[in-house]
Amino acid sequence: MNRTVLLLATPAIAVIGLLCLAPLVLVVVWSFWTWDPSTYWIKPDLSFAAYEAIFEAGRWKVLLDSIIKALLTGLICLVIGYPAAYCIHFLAGNRSAFLLMGLFTIPFFTSYLIRSFSWRLVLGRNGMVNSTLMSTGLIDEPIEWLLFSDFAVIVGLVASYLPFVIFPLLLSMRKVEKSVLQASLDLGASFFQTLRTVLLPLTKAGCFAGFLFVFVMSLGSSTEVKMLGGAAASMISVMINDVMRVVNFPLAFAISSVVILFLLILLYVGNRHLKLAKLFEDFSW
């Protein structure tokens, strides 16, 4: 790299280093420290006590549950988001595409607290779903598992993070020439054959990126869980919050470190198979 370019990039590199890498390193370093009851603060150490504590009190189960919920949310978002992105990119004209994108973004103008809370009005005992079903005579009693359940949490998460899957999908679909899809039709393939053999393989990087966005954000979510999951529901962020409340910082940092490590591995493996870098590649050939 040219020295001038490097010089020009230095402030940006410094900012990235300061805001991104430094906190990460601190979290990992502090997770090996121990909590000093005499000062109510942490002191330097090389202790694995915090990591051992993860396997106590069912904490690992919360980790696993959270991952499963985030995984489901990511997959559901993909299934809903893919046709939506397809529609915006291939079927809608410029104006309607803009309008559709707007519709996905407008809910974000309100606070996420209100968005999560509003699901209570939809899914609750006397909510819209139950009252509609009861008035049409399909059910006699309200369905209980609609609210304060894993189902409600996943509905809330999907609603919150759906747009984040659509943007990367759109980005990857923009790179697929329309004529390539036409060529597939021309060679006799049906719409679904074209989808399976041409469009999906060409947009898999976008699928992975979109899934990753939703997965990471769901894994870190707490509002939706607190609002919709009921009293017993837990999630990594809720658990970390509880641990912090009793000022057990090393344990909170250890849980965070484990999550970060897990995500890094996921990113590495996914990138090897799905070539995330392709998203940022131009058609230079």
Partner 1 sequence: MAIAIELQNITRAYGTVNALDNVSLKIEAGEFFTLLGPSGSGKSTLLKIIGGFEEPTGGSVLFNGEDVTSLSANQRPSNTVFQDLALFPHMSVGQNVAYGLQIQRVPKSEIVERVIDALDLVGLSGFEDRNVNLLSGGQRQRVALARSLIMEPGVLLLDEPLTGLDEQLRQQMRDEFGYLHEKTGATFILVTHNQDEALSLSNRMAIMKGGQLVQVDPPTTFFEHPKNSFVAGFMGMDCLIKPDRVSMENGSPVATVGDTRITAVNNAEIVPGRDYVLAIRPDQIRFEAGGASGPTSIKVTVKTIRYRGLFYDIHAEFSNGEQLLMTHPVEGAGNLPATGEVVNISFSPGAPLILLQE
Rounded to 5 degrees, φ, ψ at 41 are -140, 170
Does residue 122 belong to the site contacting partner 1 (CB under 8 A)?
no
Does residue 183 belong to the site contacting partner 1 (CB under 8 A)?
yes
Measured CA angle at 117 (ends 82, 232), to 5 deg:
95
Token output for 16: 């990235």
58 in the Ramachandran plot: left (φ > 0), alpha (ψ -120 to 50) or beta? Answer: left
- Residue 90 CB, shortest distance to partner 1, in Å, is 14
Token output for 85: 């992105």
Buried b (16+ CB within 10 A) or exposed e, 242-267: ebeeeebbbbbbbbbbbbeeeeeebe
Among 60, 201, 262, 269, binds partner 1 (CB under 8 A): 201
Stretch that binds partner 1, among 1-9, 74-82, 106-114, 191-199 (CB under 8 A): 191-199
Does residue 285 belong to the site contacting partner 1 (CB under 8 A)?
yes
Size of the site for partner 1 (CB under 8 A): 18
Tell me whether residue 187 or residue 232 sits nearer to partner 1 (CB atom).
187
Instruction: Tally the residues of the chain.
Output: 285
Among 96, 110, 131, 182, binds partner 1 (CB under 8 A): 182
CA of residue 137 relative to chain centroid, distance: 37
- Residue 187 CB, shortest distance to partner 1, in Å, is 4
- Residue 236 CB, shortest distance to partner 1, in Å, is 36
Among 198, 217, 266, 267, binds partner 1 (CB under 8 A): 198
Return residues touching partner 1 (CB under 8 A).
177, 179-180, 182-190, 193, 197-198, 201-202, 285
